[in-house]
Amino acid sequence: MKENAIVGCRFGIWAQMEAHLEAWMRDVADLRLHSTMGGASDGPVFRDEAPALRQLNGTPPFTT
């Protein structure tokens, strides 16, 4: 819990929390070393694998 994105934070409006989480994911979480792959989530292993990923037919992306 000590490295959680929102521990000790207070937000006046939802948009402030969303902005904080976006920055935290970009600047903290995405830079962490992945324990299985041995690199950051934007590292060469992940970039090399990205072309092999494909959309599932009829399943919308997670972000929708």
In this prediction, residue 45 carries a pLDDT of 61
The structure's pTM equals: 0.51
8 Å CB contact between 31 and 39: no
pLDDT tens, position by position, 7-18: 888 999 999 999
pLDDT tens, position by position, 22-62: 998 888 877 776 666 666 656 666 677 777 777 777 777 77
Domains in the chain: boundaries: 14-52
Q: Which of 62, 56, 33, 55 is nearest to 45 (CA)?
A: 33
